[in-house]
Amino acid sequence: MKDQLLAKINDRTAVVGVIGLGYVGLPLAMEFAKAGFHVVGFDISTRVVAALSAGKSHIQDVPSAEVAALVTSGKFEATADPARLAVCDAVSIAVPTPLVKTRDPDMSYVDKATDTIAERCHPGMLVILESTTYPGTTRELVLPKFEAKGMTAGKDVFLAFSPERVDPGNEKYNTKNTPKVVGGLTPACMEVAYALYATCVDKVVRVSSPEVAELVKLLENTFRSVNIALVNETAIVCDRLGVDVWEVIDAAATKPFGFMKFTPGPGIGGHCIPLDPHYLAWKMRTLNYKTRFIDLASEINSQMPDYVVEKVAHALNDARKSVNGSRVLVIGVAYKKNIDDIRESPALDVIRLLEGRGATVAYHDPYIPRFREEGHERVGVPLTAAELERSDAVVIVTDHSSIDYQLIVDHADVVVDTRNATAGVRNPSARIVSLSTAA
């Protein structure tokens, strides 16, 4: 069966399925299709499926023209019918792995996706989990579902884990040119998973087990979380010392070895950095170990929106105004610059906290003209001189490149800049407040 599957992969007659057509799954599906495979993209959202079938992409990094061309050529089909997965020779699972309120892993999406495949699995199928999760998921959660069907890993079914490394909005690295880490449950599993990814990814990195591959992703984003927490705390330290945190970081970054530049901000966002370290922390709690670095980093990063709101409060107080009753304009609600993704965005926390203190909050984001949160729809406002002048304070949360920061500095009464976006913008009379006092 391994040889048969390898032959299908090599001559591109294998049918590849992708479960979950979001930020991870759709770019991956496109790469498989461009490599010559017929790809079955499955998603439970009929809206997403209908749009893709019409050649319209809902993901910023995937052009609609690319989707349309692959749909027209017959290389890609989108479906909400799980029965279509039965024709697949290989299936990649790219579904969400959120946290519940207690910050424990919510594995329901992975669980349901695996059940969907197991019910339709045929001998010789390759199943790869891409969703970020805790070490042991492939062996402890995925494998038993196929064993219950009488299948043996490496013989009747091939199971592997390959962590997604998608960075939305990154103009340099994408699914194709970002190295792909793969760990198989058996050598045979590793061989077929490697062969599949090698058809559409420039570099595939083999590791010895799914557990290694699962931990790789958690280490990558825990590394980022801890270092972001360090510079966020450094910003607070600089504020207390009356030192410009941006000057400190830029000077430290001139060292050609032993230092990697990270910058502070209003918190952390996206699906990975705020969540992934908690998967590792949860797993270690089950082994009676406390991950102190992870817990501390999470505590510091999660407090940054409060710190930003305190900055706004002090700035308004200096202008003899209170937060209660003031109009605050938030610039940027995406979790990072130049993308349209609000998942876990610290801007949402900043807005809630300001409104909790009695402020009237408006927002502007060129990438997100409107969004719905907890049943409430918010609509952005245009960035105009009049809009800026009628606001008591302007808070720059996301530093989109297309924002006219000179316009903000020239017309806003008070600017709280959490991203150093106004550096280099000239207006001697502007009142700009940074994350550290001296900036």
Which sequence positions are flagged as catalytic? 272
User: 97 Cβ partners below 8 Å, 6+ apart?
Assistant: 105, 106, 107, 109, 110, 131, 132, 133, 275, 279
Instruction: Note whether 305 and 274 are within 8 A (CB).
Output: no
Measured over the CA atoms of residue 81, residue 86, residue 91 and residue 95, the dihedral's sign is positive
Distance CA 209, CA 298 (A): 28
Distance CA 398, CA 304 (A): 14
CA-to-CA separations, 389 to 222, 318, 407, in angstroms, rounded: 41, 17, 11
Burial per residue of 210-231, b for 16 or more beta-carbon CB atoms within 10 angstroms, e otherwise: bbebbbbbbebbbebbbebbeb
Closest by CA position to 162, among listed 25, 2, 13: 25
Instruction: Note whether 68 and 76 are within 8 A (CB).
Output: no
Q: Name the residue with tokens 């006092």.
A: 437
Distance CA 119, CA 145 (A): 9
Q: Which residues pair with 129 in a beta bridge?
A: 93, 161
CB neighbourhood size of 146 (10 A): 21
CB neighbourhood size of 352 (10 A): 15
Closest by CA position to 98, among listed 108, 85, 86, 111: 108
User: 329 Cβ partners below 8 Å, 6+ apart?
Assistant: 361, 362, 363, 364, 381, 387, 388, 391, 393, 394, 395, 412
